[in-house]
Amino acid sequence: MGKFILKRIEQMVLVLVVVSVLIFAMVRITPSDPVASMTKGRNVSEETKNELRIHYHLDKNPVEQYLIWITGAVQGDFGESYRYKQGVSDLIGQRIGVTLKLVVMSGILSLLIALPAGILSAIKMNTWLDKLLSVLTLIFVASPVFLTALVLMLVFALRLGWFPSIFQGNGIKQMILPAIALAMNMVALTSRITRAGMIEQLNSDYIRTATSNGLPRRRVVLVYAFKNALIPVITVTSVQLGTMLVGAVLVESIFAMGGLGDLLITGIKTADYPVVQSVTLLLVFVFLCINLLVDVFYAVIDPRIRMR
């Protein structure tokens, strides 16, 4: 087991290194000029601009800039923000709580809705309820997160006034619309995977045997069928949680939540290289950690995976 985990960690580190290089390169090939963004609207001499370039290591070649950034990042120092004149690590620390709360709340909400919906749809296969749930899930699978967020804001915040349209604090009510907007795509996909897995299990021989032996229907469905149908659901959930991190960027921007999403969008607009690089790398790191935990979970429940 230890060798399996070590191998996965080595793969994770390799991916992080490759991704860090790609992020750094993509940020640098954009036509934006950080110094021009910092001095926009101000009468600044060329000497001052050169001092800014030296201060932020922009006078060095790309390889030296990358090594300075990644060396600091490994030590927890992501550099200084061009816009905020503050350590990026501090900025992330101030805002990550909102993003994590949004993602966790959305993840829990999606599972609470998706799993019962998938089970119910499988039990009532080919009925009007199954067809209704299938149509709804197709709609939400096809709907981009930003579109769902905008519709929810227009209807429930601006039209009905049930919820605030702009995030104004850490209260539960402030999080409901953003969490629903972020969760709906995961609800739709997870419920469809659950339905497919449950139908496969319910039509299997061991379920027929259990039913013929007089076991209660509820126990057969919830204990035996659902337990075996849960494995692909875990895989989808792990991927979807990673996708949620990306979706959170859009949702936070729409609801002005002041989390990592807002920080990243602002960084892109203002050519704030340290912010864009560091927030993106952090999101990738969290995504890889989620996948590592899922791999370990699989290795525990199915020892054959460790041999791959």
pLDDT, one tens digit per residue, over 139-165 is 888 888 888 888 888 888 888 878 776
Nearest-CA neighbor of 240 among 140, 143, 110, 115?
A: 110
Q: What is the pLDDT of residue 49?
A: 78
Q: What is the pLDDT of residues 224-253, one digit of tens each?
A: 778 777 777 877 777 777 778 888 888 888
DSSP state of 307: G
Q: How crowded is residue 218: how many other Cβ atoms within 10 Å of its Cβ? A: 8
Q: What is the pLDDT of residue 170?
A: 62
Specify the pTM: 0.78
Confidence of residue 301 (pLDDT cuts 50, 70, 90): low
Percent of the chain residues past pLDDT 90, beyond the cut: 2
Confidence of residue 308 (pLDDT cuts 50, 70, 90): low
Q: Are 107 and 154 in contact (CB under 8 A)?
A: no
The residue among 299 and 156 whose pLDDT is bigger is 156
Percent of the chain residues past pLDDT 70, beyond the cut: 93
What CA–CA distances, in Å, run from 121 to 135, 141, 194, 198?
11, 16, 9, 9
Q: How crowded is residue 128: how many other Cβ atoms within 10 Å of its Cβ? A: 8
Surface-to-core class of residue 225, CB atoms within 10 Å of its CB (0-12 exposed, 13-18 middle, 19+ buried): buried
What is the spatial distance between Cα 63 and Cα 21, in angstroms, rounded to a whole number?
A: 10
Mean pLDDT of the chain: 81
Confidence of residue 36 (pLDDT cuts 50, 70, 90): confident
Q: What is the pLDDT of residue 292?
A: 81
Mean pLDDT, to the nearest integer, of 47-75?
84
Nearest-CA neighbor of 149 among 259, 264, 248?
A: 248
Confidence of residue 304 (pLDDT cuts 50, 70, 90): low
**Which single residue is written with the structure tokens 């019962």?**
116
Is the per-residue pLDDT at 138 higher than 80? yes
Q: Which of 49-53, 75-79, 129-133 has the lowest mean pLDDT?
A: 49-53
What is the spatial distance between Cα 255 and Cα 178, in angstroms, rounded to a whole number?
A: 7
**Which single residue is written with the structure tokens 């290194």?**
17
What is the spatial distance between Cα 226 and Cα 80, in angstroms, rounded to a whole number?
A: 50
Q: What is the pLDDT of residue 185?
A: 86
What is the spatial distance between Cα 150 and Cα 169, in angstroms, rounded to a whole number?
A: 20
CA atoms within 13 A on the CB side of 269: 8
Surface-to-core class of residue 245, CB atoms within 10 Å of its CB (0-12 exposed, 13-18 middle, 19+ buried): buried
Is the per-residue pLDDT at 302 higher than 60? no
Q: Are 201 and 224 in contact (CB under 8 A)?
A: yes
CATH 3.90.1150.10 assigned to 93-269: no
Q: Are 67 and 21 in contact (CB under 8 A)?
A: no
Mean pLDDT, to the nearest integer, of 185-196?
87
Is the per-residue pLDDT at 5 higher than 60? yes
| Greatest mean pLDDT range, 31-35, 159-163, 208-212, 284-288 | 284-288
Is the per-residue pLDDT at 18 higher than 80? yes
Is the per-residue pLDDT at 184 higher than 80? yes
Q: Which of 48-57, 163-172, 264-273 has the lowest mean pLDDT?
A: 163-172
Is the per-residue pLDDT at 61 higher than 80? yes
Q: Which two tokens mark 210?
A: 């259990």
Mean pLDDT, to the nearest integer, of 100-124?
87
Domain with CATH 1.10.3720.10 in the chain: 93-269
In sequence order, what are the residues at sequence separation of 6 or more whose Cβ sits closer than 8 angstroms to the Cβ of residue 135? none
Give, in degrees to the nearest 5, the angle at Cα 294 between 293 and 298: 120
The residue among 302 and 5 whose pLDDT is bigger is 5
The residue among 197 and 56 whose pLDDT is bigger is 197
Nearest-CA neighbor of 285 among 4, 80, 15?
A: 15
